[in-house]
Amino acid sequence: MKLLVKLIENFEDNHYQLNVSTPYSRLLHLMEARGLKQADLVEILGSSKIVPKIMNSDLEIMKEQAEALCKFFHVEPSLFILE
């Protein structure tokens, strides 16, 4: 029985990693759920130059941007900030 439990735990650790989402992946998920495109975020994030950088993970979401996103998506700002 102990061996079976250990094998299952090892399998789950290797194939089902929990809490591996990032602010970027959370934003993508919310956009997908609403059918939004990058252009839809320009007004929220403030610039058409910033949006592609955030979407390509070249730029982190700043606190003010996270607050704007949380109001738009009705979620907590902490979803968009690295911890």
Residue ranges of the domains in the chain? 19-80
Tokens 């058409």, located at residue: 48
pLDDT at 64: 92
Higher pLDDT, 36 or 16: 36
Burial letters 61-76, b for 16+ CB under 10 A, else e: beeebbebbbebbeee
The token duo for 79 is 């979803």
Q: Note if the pTM is more than 0.75.
A: no
Mean pLDDT of the chain: 89
User: Residues 80, 65: contact at Cβ < 8 Å?
Assistant: yes
Neighbours of 51 (CB within 10 A): 21
Which class in CATH covers the domain with range 19-80?
Answer: mainly alpha
Read out DSSP for 32-60?
HHHT--GGGGHHHHS-TTHHHHHHTTSSP
